[in-house]
Amino acid sequence: MENVLFICNQNKNRSKTAEHLFKSEYKTKSAGLYNKTPVAEKQLEWADTIIVMEDIQRSEIAKRFPKQYLKKRILSLNIPDIYKYDQNELKEILKEKIKKIIK
């Protein structure tokens, strides 16, 4: 089973929802970039695939963790930060986009 790390800004809504939504299909974890305990190198090492919610988050990972960035498959879903945790619209968008990017 693939290890998938979901990353957004605060790890409150988008990545947290994705972590719970896909935990039966993958080993999932989630993290934020700008919260009290931001994503750590150890979490990036654990992941087979890293999924960010916006391209700017991919750029931030490249700045903070250049070595890991080059080694990892990092995909962007392009989901704006306008959703609440576990919101139905967010879950539908996540399902649709994940189907297209993870084979």
Q: Sorting pLDDT into bands at 50, 70 and 90, what band is 103?
A: low
Rounded to whole angstroms, what are the CA distances from 40 to 78, 99, 100?
22, 27, 27
Q: What is the CA radius of gyration of the chain?
A: 12
Instruction: Provide CATH code, domain 3-101.
Output: 3.40.50.2300
56: helix, strand or coil: helix
Rounded to the nearest 5°, which phi and psi values hold at 46?
-65, -35
Whole-model pTM: value is 0.96
pLDDT in tens, 57-74: 999 999 999 999 999 999
Domain boundaries, the chain: 3-101
Whether the predicted pLDDT of 96 surpasses 90:
yes
Whether the predicted pLDDT of 85 surpasses 90:
yes
